[in-house]
Amino acid sequence: MKYDSLEKLQNGGTVAVIGGGPAGASCAIALKNLAREKGIGINVVLYEGKNFSVGKQYNQCAGVLSPPIDKILEDYLDVPFPRKLVQRTIDGYMLHGARNEVDLVREGEVSYALRRITFDDYLLNQVVMRGVKVVSARVTELEFYSDCVRVYSEGDHLRADVVVGAFGCDDGTTQVFSKQTSYRPPSLIYSIVTNVHPGDEHMQSFGNRIHAFLPGVSKIEFGAITPKRNHLTINIAGKHVDARMMQTFLSLKPLRELLPPEFPTYQDKLNIFKGKFPSGKASGIYGDRYITIGDATGLLRPFKGKGVNTGVITGYYAARVIIEHGISAAAFQKFREYCAGYFDDMNYGKVFRILAIIGTKLRMLDNIMELAKSESVINNLLFDAVSAHRSYHDILNYVGNPRTIFKLTSAGLGGVFKRNYHINPSQPRT
C-alpha cells in the first residue's frame, strides 16, 4: 500500500532507524510491538555499521546500567533483562574529592556493570527476532520529499516514510542529518577510557563499589574506576581531556591506592580510547518525517548518567508517536510531552554540573563530604547525584528544606575559607 501522508503509519509503512545502539534498537522493537498491537504491518529497517557480535568494537561508555533498567526493558519493550551479561553488581559508590572521600550506599539500590558491546549485541538480536531488517552499513545521505525520505547507505537505497536518528554523537551521520534537516547537535564533552587487568586476587579484594572522583585537577571534571569481572574500567571526562590528562589522573595518590603495586610497570602499555557524549540539548530534535532519540538529542544527565535508560525510553516514545499520532513536526510535539521530565531536567543538570566544578575548585565539596558521613540526608543527596537514581529536579526539591540548605551552605563556605586551595596530586591527604 502506498503511503504518502504525515498521519500515523498504516499497513505497508516503512521506518528507517539509523543506529543500532540501545536507543535505535529499542525504537525498532517498540515499533514492531506497537504495530502488532494495532493490527498493522509495517517495515522497519535498521542501519548499523558496527558488528557488535565479533567483540572488536569498543564503546567509550563505562558500561554501568542504572536502575530500573530491568523494569524499563520489560515494561517498555517486553524484553527480559540479560542478567547473564552482568559482570558485577554495583552496591554503592565511593566519592572522592580533592582531600576527602565518603561512602555512598543505599540498601536495595544496585547498578549493573557489564561490557556494553555485549548488551548492544543482545538488544540487536532482539530486534532481529521481531522481524526488523538490519543493514550492516552506514547511512551516507538523506533526501526529504513531501511524500517520503530517501535513505542512501553503503549497502542499499531505501524509500521510507519516516527516519529515526539514533546515531549518538557520530560525526558522519550528524553531518548527514544537519545538512538535510533543522537538527543541530548538542555541545559535547570528551572522555578518555582505559582498562586495567590487575589479576584475580586484586579484583576479589576491590569490592563492588564504583569509585567516583571530583579531583580538582585542571581539565578533569570527573573520573571513575568501575570494577568488572576481571578488570577495572577507568575513565575521565572534561571539555579538553586527552591521553596526557589520563596519565595525570592515574598519578593521583587516592587512585594509585586502588591499583596493584606493580601498576606503574605497565602503565605506559595501556590501551586508551577517546570518546564523547552530550553536555547540552540538541536543537531541531524533530521535524516532518524525522525524529532523533538517545544521545543524539542531548537529553542526558551530566557525565552521561543513565544514558542507556534514556535511550530506551526516548526510543519507545518516538515509536509510540509514529504509530499513534503521525510523522509530522506537529505530531512529534507529543514526543516533547512524553519526555517532558528529560527536557525539564536539563537546566537543573547544568546547574549541578557548574556547582560540582566550582565546588571542587574551591574545596567546598570536601567539607560537604565530611558532613555526609554523619548526616543521612546529605549522604542520600550525594548518592542520588552520583548514581543518577533520581532526577536533579527531585534532588533539588529534596534539598529544599531550610535546615538542609543551611548545613550545605555552612559546610561549603567552610571549605572556601581554608588557607590552602592548591592541591598537589601526589600530596598525601590531611
Domain ranges of the chain: 14-85+115-187+279-344, 188-277, 350-416
> Does the pLDDT value for residue 110 go beyond 80?
yes
Q: Give the residue, 408 or 74, on which the prediction is more confident.
A: 74
Asked if the 188-277 domain carries CATH number 1.20.120, the reply is no
CB-based burial of residue 39 (10 Å sphere; 0-12 exposed, 13-18 middle, 19+ buried)? exposed
Tell me whether the CATH fold assigned to 14-85+115-187+279-344 matches the one assigned to 188-277: no
Q: Sorting pLDDT into bands at 50, 70 and 90, what band is 428? A: very low
Cα-to-chain-centroid distance, residue 352: 17
| Per-residue pLDDT, 167 | 98
What pLDDT, in 10s, does the model give residues 301-339?
766 678 999 999 999 999 999 999 999 999 999 999 999
Averaged pLDDT of the chain? 89
> Does the pLDDT value for residue 184 go beyond 50?
yes
- Report residue 425 as a C-alpha cell: 596530586
Strand order in the sheet with 92-96: 101-104, 92-96, 209-213, 222-227, 232-238, 188-196, 272-278
Q: Give the residue, 62 or 421, on which the prediction is more confident.
A: 62
> Against a cut of 0.85, is the pTM above it?
yes
What pLDDT, in 10s, does the model give residues 194-249?
999 999 999 999 999 999 999 988 899 999 999 999 999 999 999 999 999 999 99
Asked if the 14-85+115-187+279-344 domain carries CATH number 3.50.50.60, the reply is yes
Instruction: Please give the C-alpha separations between residue 129 and each of 53, 73, 74, 85, 417, in angstroms, as whole numbers.
Output: 15, 16, 16, 19, 61
What pLDDT, in 10s, does the model give residues 27-64?
999 999 999 999 999 999 999 999 887 655 556 678 99
- Report residue 267 as a C-alpha cell: 602503565
Q: Are 259 and 199 in contact (CB under 8 A)?
A: no
